[in-house]
C-alpha cells in the first residue's frame, strides 16, 4: 500500500492502532517526513536513573495523543515514524550503568581514578563505549539525513544527541544549537566521563560548524560553566531562568522575551530539549529535576515564533524523559514530541 493509500484509509480521530508506528500512524521510516531515532542510554547519569526507559514509555504513551494540530492543518499526513528500539543498546546501557554507579559511589567516598586502578579501568571502558554509542547515532542520523528526512532523536539521557549534531556538521556549513534545559551542561568530562550527560554542550562546542549555542531556562550551573559562558565572546548566549522570571515580574511579556531569543539565532537551528527545562510538575521523574522552569505551551510558543520568523529547525532531540511509576512524564514527552515534529516539518516547508 502506498503512502497516499494509507492516508486515504486512515482515520486520525479513531483510537490509536497499537499495530502501527508511534502515535498509531501507519507510516514506515521510508514514508515518513520525520524519523525518530530512539536511544535508550543513560550510562553516566549522576543522580537518578530511568531515562533509558524514556523511548519505550513515550512510544507507548503516544497512542493517547490526539493527532489534530490546531496550528498545522492535517499535520499527521506528513508522517512521523520511529525506528525500533535497540534491545542491545538498552542492555549495554544497563550493564555499563551498574559499573558507573559503583564508580560514582567511590568518587563520593573520596576515591579517585588516579589512585584506584579499578576506577580507572571503569572510566576508560565507559568513555570508549560512550564513544561507540555516539558513532552509532551519527551513522544512523546520516542514513536519514542523506534521505532528506527531518531527523529527531529521543533519549535516553542528554549525552545521546552528540552523534546527531556531528552528522549535521557534515551536511551544514554552519548552524546554532538552541538548548532548552535546566542545566548548562558545559562541564568538562564531568566525574571523569568524557561523554557525560552533563558535558553534552561542552562536547558540542568542539564541532567547528556549530557557530552559536543559545541556552534558555538554565538555572543550575557551576562557576566554571558560568565563566565559560562569560568568556565565550558571544558564542554562548544564555537566557537564565532567574533573569527571565525577573523580567516577567517587572512587566516584560514572554512574547517580548521570545523576540530577544530569536534575535540571537541564525537561520539554521538544531533544537536540543532536555525535558527538565520544564517546570518539574510536568516531569517529576526526570533524572535531575530543578525548581523553576517553563510551562508546556510557553516553550511551544517560542518554537512557533521561531518557525513563523522563517528560521529552520534542521533537526531536534528530546531527552531525559523518565517514566517513573506512571505515564505522566511520558504523556508530556509524547505530546511535546508530536508538536515539535510538526513544527520542524513546517519550518522545512514540508
Grid cell, residue 124, equals 576508560
* Packing angle of the helix pair 54-61, 328-347 (nearest 10 deg): 80
Instruction: Look up residue 183 and give its DSSP letter.
Output: B
Grid cell, residue 215, equals 541556552
What pLDDT was estimated at residue 129?
A: 98
What pLDDT was estimated at residue 46?
A: 72
Contact 221, 239 (CB under 8 A): no
Grid cell, residue 347, equals 519550518
- Cell 555516539 belongs to 134
Q: How far is CA 344 from the centre of its chain?
A: 14
Closest CA to 342 of 147, 68, 148, 137: 68
Write down all domains in the chain, each with its CATH number in brackets.
3-347 (3.40.800.10)
What pLDDT was estimated at residue 287?
A: 87
Q: Give all strands (DSSP E) within the chain, no chain letters.
A: 34-39, 80-82, 150-155, 175-180, 210-218, 236-240, 268-274, 312-319
Q: pLDDT truncated to tens, each residue of the chain (350 aa)? A: 899 999 999 999 998 888 999 999 999 999 999 999 999 999 998 778 899 999 999 999 999 999 999 989 999 999 999 999 999 999 999 999 999 999 999 999 999 999 999 999 999 999 999 999 999 999 999 999 999 999 999 999 999 999 999 999 999 999 999 999 999 999 999 999 999 999 999 999 999 999 999 999 999 999 999 999 999 999 999 999 999 999 999 999 999 999 999 999 999 999 999 999 999 999 999 989 999 999 999 999 999 999 999 999 999 999 999 998 888 999 999 999 999 999 999 999 99
What pLDDT was estimated at residue 173?
A: 98
Contact 162, 177 (CB under 8 A): no
Query: Taking the model in full, what pTM does it have?
Result: 0.97
Amino acid at each position: 500500500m502506498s503512502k497516499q493509500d494509507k492516508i486515504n484509509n486512515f482515520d486520525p480521530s479513531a483510537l490509536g492502532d497499537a499495530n502501527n508506528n508511534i502515535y498509531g500512524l501507519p507510516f514506515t521510516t521510508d514514508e515518513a517526513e520525520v524519523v525518530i531515532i530512539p536511544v535508550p542510554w543513560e550510562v553516566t547519569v549522576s543522580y537518578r536513573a530511568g531515562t533509558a526507559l524514556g523511548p519505550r514509555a513515550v512510544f507507548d504513551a503516544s497512542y493517547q495523543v490526539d493527532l489534530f494540530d490546531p496550528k498545522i492543518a492535517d499535520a499527521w499526513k506528513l508522517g512521523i515514524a520511529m525506528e525500533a528500539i535497540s534491545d542491545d543498546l538498552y542492555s549495554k546501557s544497563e550493564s555499563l550503568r551498574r559499573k558507573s554507579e559503583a564508580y560514582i559511589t567511590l568518587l563520593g567516598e573520596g576515591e579517585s581514578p588516579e589512585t584506584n586502578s579499578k576506577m580507572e579501568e571503569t572510566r576508560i571502558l565507559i568513555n570508549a563505549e560512550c564513544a561507540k554509542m555516539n558513532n552509532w547515532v551519527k551513522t544512523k542520523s546520516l542514513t536519514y539525513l542523506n534521505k532528506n528526512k527531518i531527523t529527531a532523536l529521543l533519549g535516553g539521557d542528554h549525552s545521546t544527541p552528540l552523534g546527531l549534531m556531528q552528522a549535521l556538521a557534515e551536511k551544514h556549513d554552519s548552524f546554532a544549537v538552541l538548548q532548552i534545559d535546566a542545566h548548562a551542561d558545559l562541564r568538562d568530562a564531568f566525574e571523569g566521563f568524557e561523554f557525560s550527560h552533563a558535558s553534552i554542550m561542552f562536547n558540542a562546542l568542539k564541532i567547528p560548524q556549530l557557530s552559536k549555542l543559545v541556552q534558555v531556562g538554565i538555572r543550575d550551573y557551576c562557576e566554571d560553566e558560568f565563566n565559560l559562558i562569560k568568556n565565550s565572546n558571544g558564542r554562548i548566549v544564555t537566557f537564565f531562568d532567574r533573569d527571565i522570571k525577573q523580567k516577567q515580574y517587572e512587566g516584560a511579556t514572554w512574547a517580548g522575551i521570545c523576540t530577544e531569543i530569536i534575535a540571537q539565532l541564525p537561520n539554521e537551528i538544531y533544537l536540543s530539549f532536555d525535558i527538565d527545562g520544564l517546570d518539574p510538575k510536568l516531569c517529576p521523574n526526570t533524572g535531575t529535576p530543578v525548581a523553576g522552569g517553563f510551562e508546556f505551551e510557553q516553550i511551544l510558543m517560542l518554537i512557533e515564533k521561531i518557525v513563523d520568523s522563517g528560521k529552520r529547525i534542521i533537526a531536534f532531540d528530546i531527552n531525559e524523559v523518565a517514566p517513573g511509576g506512571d505515564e505522566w512524564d511520558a504523556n508530556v514527552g509524547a505530546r511535546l514530541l508530536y508538536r515539535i515534529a510538526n513544527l520542524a516539518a513546517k519550518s522545512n516547508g514540508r
